[in-house]
Structure 1
């Protein structure tokens, strides 16, 4: 992972002092001691820090959480109900054969470096995914080419009709880039969004400031600081002390009731796309044997994991499809908790007294879940030994990039990510997609009804094969100062949307 260049506008000799002062006092949104009013700034507590700012090469949700919709924008976006809405495109039409999208772009949009945003940037941004992106390339595989009709008109031509393409455009692959800025994506993101990155102190915080020349509605909160904490306890202590104003995706479920009882705070539990996934390396022994994977599924009790690890907060899912997806189907009954069936499958596979290396990222949910998983597997004779991997740097390098693991656990937060996870055998899970690939391809080109039916077949097949084990749907719990309004509590994308934030008196 590349090291991020700190963008701090101070002389080198004074940098340390400036950082220390900023960390203690700047960006406060808490009530002042004199007048009880709020400054136009907010501090947000998180537990997962980006390794860098290059979301074209670095996987995980930490980068788009900060940048998507805040610094970078796409032609379209998702609203809090999960519906596609215009963003940089004011409107679009679709051809009768569903292969051509004509986008009308908003006039007068500029990047944060002052360059005008035009249809040339649409062509550049979308076509470079096939050659320059290291992740998520499959989400733009339907693209044939982009035609520049005029500075404010872009014609996007697909190879074939696609039911998923426009939705995928609301994610990272749909973000627009300035050609002059892509050489420094890891350190200096340049976008058309309402904010710019003004400071990065690795291991502590990232600061954003509202743009004066933003094309859309100006944010009421002009300064935002994302503060990163090593654990959930430290983040909740910071909230109580007023060092942060909001915890997004709170990682201390046992404390929810305490915050609900305190009028100084508000607690929201929004919807989420996030699946807590027990990742199994299908290309490595013992999980290259479907019987062993099925034994794992029978050995686990997902409801007990939810109750023990996350204080009962979360929803069981039988496949990597949340209930908000159009092709959701309840598959939780496929592998009911049955230790005896698990033991028999292990015996049939010649895998009794099995020992497994369990790589666990340094995230609160992962630690809590892994301890329960280890205990449940032990009941069927499987010894799982936990190795703690620093997240994101070590886990992304070892597990995601090098595939050097047997079993892991991760929160997968991308919307509609079942194909991204299981339809590419080169992905870190290594699932053999020869059965589902033709089903998924036909579904994507078909009618809406054919798409839904086909994706249900994909979900059922991956669940039956236990490509990995989706343990539960993660709740998006937000705890904040009661006077902070406009919080986008539903995690419909990876983005933490800042634009609507505001303080009440």
Structure 2
């Protein structure tokens, strides 16, 4: 009997140890990235997997949205705001064994600024005048003008530091300096990262992390309940939240994102080049109904391209209130008393597909008849984002502090108003927080008045994961699923 009891106790201890030793993680994500190089692609799904995990920049954006030291352990800024001296970490290596030093910073930024650069956020580097390698551990960057957001901008995924020897192949075989190394990409199924045993900083507490691509909400619920995944940083099925909340195996964490979800409008194409047509659309949109219908009430209606939780937020809900009679009158004034036909191209995320159905129904009430065209993510990037071959679309812009995209005349919705560009120049030069916020409010009001896009809602973040999983971010201030502090607990 004693031997039996001892055996049972030993088995229990071993089981407990095995459970405590869990160091692998499987997360569900809605979208498969088109490639794995954050310096050569606009898709948020790229940064979700590799930002902070595989690749690092001079700075990194933390859970609060603040810029923190990363490969630059510290820095000094001149009084005129033009010179930044970055002191780099020493002893860091790339995953291919190459030593990291100041020459890699210069290479990465020169590459991003080059005429043939494929960097989707090349504008981040435009303020840079010169980059000087002072010594292997020191970089001096001189700007053309003071740029208050420079440290924050260097924390974007587009500004990560890459190894010259592997830069050309990062799209399929990413090599960074981060706490995880690229393991495997099973196309159409999953991406696996492995712990970097030679990481220069605080080591990861996970040995392996797998991102499984599950775009269908029904399949997501089945995978979660069956234990095929440990959680979803962005739960795609808000209607099932009550069911998951009632299950003691899981935590449901509500947070916010930087995702302004918009009815993207091709303002360079008739009839959307007419302000009155865009104003009519703005009056026709019942934003709360869109949130309720597409997101089951999870999300915040917006009226410009700026998050409601931001310090420069201004309530512009009175600018174009829901008013169908006003919308019809504006359409008639624009020469469309009977409305018109147009297309609505929708990428795969549920917010777009579900939201598109609601938006189409609302615009139909004022005579705008939309043909809904579902497209895959790669098609959206090629046709809409790059080719500008669209009338309307729905997409969530998840980049932080991204109102500056409206200053780019070649951006997919084609705005680039000179007065707005001037505001962005003022914003770049401002270093005082209050001055920046005042400019941001002016910018937000200008694009709202011009109804550049149909502003729908701020994408909410629903995190669902096992109760014993800790370190996951509640909010999403940047396009990342940062696993650097994620761990399992007893």
Q: TM-score range by the shorter chain?
A: over 0.9
Structure 2 residue aligned with 1:362: 348
Structure 2 residue aligned with 1:229: 214
**Cα deviation, residue 326, structure 1:** 3.1
**Cα deviation, residue 358, structure 1:** 0.4
SS in 2 for 1:474: strand
Please tell me whether the aligned partners of residues 38 and 158 of structure 2 are also in contact (alpha carbons under 8 angstroms).
Answer: no
Structure 1 residue aligned with 2:256: 271
Structure 1 residue aligned with 2:421: 437
SS in 1 for 2:176: coil
Residues 195, 36 of structure 1: alpha-carbon distance in 2 compared, 3 angstrom cutoff:
closer
Q: Quick check: 1:83 aligned with 2:69?
A: no
TM-score, structure 2 normalization: 0.94
Q: Distance in 1 between matches of 2:467 and 2:21?
A: 12
User: How many pairs align?
Assistant: 473
**Cα deviation, residue 323, structure 1:** 2.9
Q: Quick check: 1:49 aligned with 2:32?
A: yes
Superposed CA offset, 1:237-272 (max 9, x none): 101100000111111000111111111100011221
**Cα deviation, residue 233, structure 1:** 1.3
Q: Which is further off, 179-188 or 218-227?
A: 179-188
The within-5 A match list for 1:364-379 is 364-379=350-365
Q: Distance in 2 between matches of 1:167 and 1:285?
A: 37
**Cα deviation, residue 274, structure 1:** 0.7
Mark the runs of 5 or more structure 1 residues left unpaired by the alignment.
1-30
**Cα deviation, residue 38, structure 1:** 5.3
**Cα deviation, residue 451, structure 1:** 2.4
Superposed CA offset, 1:31-74 (max 9, x none): 98996555210000011111112322321101011111000001
Structure 2 residue aligned with 1:390: 376
Please tell me whether the aligned partners of residues 258 and 477 of structure 2 are also in contact (alpha carbons under 8 angstroms).
Answer: yes
Q: Distance in 2 between matches of 1:33 and 1:219?
A: 22
Q: Quick check: 1:380 aligned with 2:366?
A: yes
Q: Quick check: 1:426 aligned with 2:444?
A: no
Superposed CA offset, 1:443-475 (max 9, x none): 321342332222211111001101112211111
Residues 387, 155 of structure 1: alpha-carbon distance in 2 compared, 3 angstrom cutoff:
same
**Cα deviation, residue 276, structure 1:** 0.9
Q: Distance in 1 between matches of 2:112 and 2:358?
A: 40
Q: Which is further off, 125-134 or 139-148?
A: 125-134
**Cα deviation, residue 134, structure 1:** 3.9
Please tell me whether the aligned partners of residues 40 and 158 of structure 2 are also in contact (alpha carbons under 8 angstroms).
Answer: no
SS in 2 for 1:186: coil
Q: Quick check: 1:479 aligned with 2:433?
A: no
Please tell me whether the aligned partners of residues 120 and 158 of structure 2 are also in contact (alpha carbons under 8 angstroms).
Answer: no
Residues 504, 34 of structure 1: alpha-carbon distance in 2 compared, 3 angstrom cutoff:
closer
Structure 2 residue aligned with 1:4: none
Match of 2:237 among 252, 257, 276: 252
Q: Distance in 1 between matches of 2:119 and 2:469?
A: 38
**Cα deviation, residue 171, structure 1:** 0.5
TM-score, structure 1 normalization: 0.91
Q: Distance in 1 between matches of 2:42 and 2:65?
A: 22
Structure 2 residue aligned with 1:335: 320
Residues 33, 214 of structure 1: alpha-carbon distance in 2 compared, 3 angstrom cutoff:
closer
Cα root mean square deviation, aligned: 1.6
Superposed CA offset, 1:272-327 (max 9, x none): 11111110001111111111111000000001111111111111221111134332
Q: Distance in 1 between matches of 2:140 and 2:472?
A: 35
SS in 2 for 1:156: strand
Please tell me whether the aligned partners of residues 39 and 160 of structure 2 are also in contact (alpha carbons under 8 angstroms).
Answer: no
Please tell me whether the aligned partners of residues 127 and 145 of structure 1 are also in contact (alpha carbons under 8 angstroms).
Answer: no
Superposed CA offset, 1:48-107 (max 9, x none): 111112322321101011111000001111221111111111111110000111111111
Q: Which is further off, 73-82 or 323-332?
A: 323-332
SS in 2 for 1:235: helix
Q: Distance in 1 between matches of 2:104 and 2:28?
A: 34
Structure 2 residue aligned with 1:69: 52
